[in-house]
Structure 1
Amino acid sequence: MRSFPRHTVRQPFTVAGLGLHTGVPVSVTVHPGDQGIGFRYGGTRVLAHPANVTDTTRSTKLGEVGTVEHLMSAFAGLEITDAEVELDAPELPGLDGSAGGYIDAIMGVGIEQIGDREFPSLYTRLFLQEDGGPKMAIGKGNGQWRFVFATDDRWPGEQAFELEDAVGGYVEHIARARTFAFAEEVPMIIQLGLGRGLDENSALILGIEGYKNEPRYPDEPARHKLLDLMGDLYLAGVPVRALNVVSERSGHRANVKAAAMLAQAMGNTQPAT
């Protein structure tokens, strides 16, 4: 068994913006908590757990609450284990397309330790592999995470980003990497009514020969995919620094599937509500 500290926010804070896909105005208040990470909307509380994921189409949805991955990633990177997230609309805001706004807000109010929790060591490596698609390996470790973003013959081909200490390097190297889209997919995204809370400043556009707008990092897509992966896997409730993870080509569907495998392996069979 390994002991890890439990943390919550020191006091409530509120962020507001437009739902990343719906574009609906939303206010989100994060309160201190001691019952895991819960999302509250419309009088219902849903626990952050893979069993409660209801959709993984271009984002991760918990119960009725959409696009939780960027806030969950911020919680993972700052090792927040307990918080109550209250929304007045059913999707979290896109903010600047990254987890940076959440990081700034959490660090602005501070973090408080509320005890410790013991975790069993992961007794076996977990593998997820689909023909021609996502690959992932999860094992007991010390927080070394790697993501390989691959587009085959289309630019940029392959990008890989790795941190030996994903917690220690999260704020500087991962948190501000923005969501992205391929230029040829933008008309379809608009037609489907997605990405309404984003613009050219909050979404990186990948053209066929390079970026269409200014990237924050030369390998920003790989970093953002790692950001998403950390948020999705954190649904299993396992500290980032307890694992070593390598993932290639995975998106929200595969990430959540892996989170369910991890939760099962760690005996995290919390109730679905």
Structure 2
Amino acid sequence: MFQVPKSEFETIMLENVRRDRRIRAIAFPQLTVVRPVVIDGVGLHSGAPIHMVLRPAEADYGVVFRRTDLVAQGREVSDIRATYDNVVNTMLSTEIGNAAGTTVSTVEHLMSALSALGIDNLLVEIDGAEVPVLDGSSEIFIDKIEAVGLEKLDAPRKAIRILKPVVVEDGAKRAALLPGEGFRLSFEIEFDNPVIGRQSIEADLHDPFFAEDILRARTFCLRRDIEAMWEAGLAKGGSLDNAVVVDNDHVMNEEGLRYDDEFVRHKVLDAVGDLALSGMPLIGRYEGSRAGHAMNNRVLRALMADPTAYEIVDFAEARHAPLMQREIAIPAD
């Protein structure tokens, strides 16, 4: 059996001790996963089977999607950084892409889970062009990641503190990013449907019940819109197993709704995922009214286009760290 020379072993051990001490000195270190997380499912819109692996990444790596199917074909440019300026399409989901035309769609549910868990760095290997829909919420992503655990990295977390209001509007649609502590979201929707109607909610990303109250809310649609989505080449993988379907005055899913206001809760889930494309957690408030993926991306672009509207801070400078305050499997110091 190969053995590391004693002097080399001692050097490695000493460096590990020093690294652990540096991490303990950081109030809010960056996080990644302890080991790979395997996720299999189908794409909501493509209907294609998808194999995805979330791999640990080093500090300041960010979240990067790698199309392994294109790597296998010898394509050199297969990586896509998960950032707001790489969003290329917002029709019924958020799609990111790179200059070579490589894309990955429906990233918002995974990004919402990563944001809630405080994961800064991750390599997402995926063998297709769409993130698996799973049950239509972020719950399974959360469960699978927590089962593996999170690792602290030797670098402080950075955050974007919102300094002044940034608002975008499009008719009755509105999205705003406002100054505040921690990260709170409020959302309202209004549908011409008796089951959905008008709903509103406020949520706090730091609430210990955020995952239970928000991230279990499933994507939804009206039955009357399904045929149009099929004609547009969308929702090929949709089913009652991964979406709430409303038919006039009733919910078609046998188990019904997870919450009476599941629809607006899912809109908050989507907003958290879309805003996670800022590349860093946000400190402030978000307000959405009849907003969707397009409005979320527009308000984020507007914020980042104005250097006077935000500042980059260490979490040590923030009163509330945008990290879900609940039990997660981070190895003890």
TM-score > 0.5, shorter chain as reference = yes
Report whether the alignment pairs 1:258 with 2:284. no
- 258-267 vs 218-227, which deviates more? 258-267
**Which SS does the other structure have where 1:250 is aligned?**
coil
Shift, 1:167, TM fit: 5.0
Q: Deviations over 1:17-63 (max 9, x none)?
A: 11111011110000011300101112411111111111111111111
Which residue does the alignment assign to 2:93? Answer: 59
Matches within 5 A, 1:80-99: 80-99=119-138
- 257-266 vs 25-34, which deviates more? 257-266
Structure 2 unaligned blocks of 5 or more: 1-26, 72-77, 98-102, 313-333
- Cα gap change, 1:33/1:127 in structure 2, threshold over 3 Å: closer, same or farther? same
* Letter aligned with residue 279 of structure 2: G
Shift, 1:235, TM fit: 0.3
CA contact (8 A) 2:52 2:124 kept: yes
When the two chains are superposed, the root-mean-square deviation of aligned CA atoms in Å is: 2.0
- 165-174 vs 221-230, which deviates more? 165-174
- Cα gap change, 1:166/1:211 in structure 2, threshold over 3 Å: closer, same or farther? farther
Matches within 5 A, 1:35-54: 35-41=61-67, 42-43=70-71, 44-54=78-88
- The 1-side partners of 2:36 and 2:87 are apart by 25
Which residue does the alignment assign to 2:197? Answer: 157
- The 2-side partners of 1:108 and 1:194 are apart by 32
Q: Deviations over 1:156-176 (max 9, x none)?
A: 221112123455332111111
Structure 1 unaligned blocks of 5 or more: 269-273
- The 2-side partners of 1:68 and 1:221 are apart by 19
CA contact (8 A) 2:136 2:218 kept: yes
- The 2-side partners of 1:39 and 1:120 are apart by 22
Which residue does the alignment assign to 2:271? Answer: 229
- The 1-side partners of 2:210 and 2:204 are apart by 11
Report whether the alignment pairs 1:30 with 2:64. no
Report whether the alignment pairs 1:123 with 2:149. no
CA contact (8 A) 1:97 1:198 kept: no
Report whether the alignment pairs 1:70 with 2:94. no
Q: TM-score, normalised by structure 2?
A: 0.74
Which residue does the alignment assign to 1:271? Answer: none
Shift, 1:190, TM fit: 2.4
- The 1-side partners of 2:39 and 2:293 are apart by 24
Which residue does the alignment assign to 1:219? Answer: 261
- 205-214 vs 55-64, which deviates more? 205-214
Q: Tell me which structure has the larger Cα radius of gyration.
A: 2
Aligned length: 265
- The 2-side partners of 1:59 and 1:153 are apart by 22
- The 1-side partners of 2:44 and 2:29 are apart by 32
Q: Deviations over 1:70-101 (max 9, x none)?
A: 10010011111110000111111111111111
Which residue does the alignment assign to 2:21? Answer: none
Which residue does the alignment assign to 1:133? Answer: 173
**Which SS does the other structure have where 1:134 is aligned?**
strand
**Which SS does the other structure have where 1:121 is aligned?**
strand
Q: TM-score, normalised by structure 1?
A: 0.90
Identity %: 33
**Which SS does the other structure have where 1:234 is aligned?**
helix
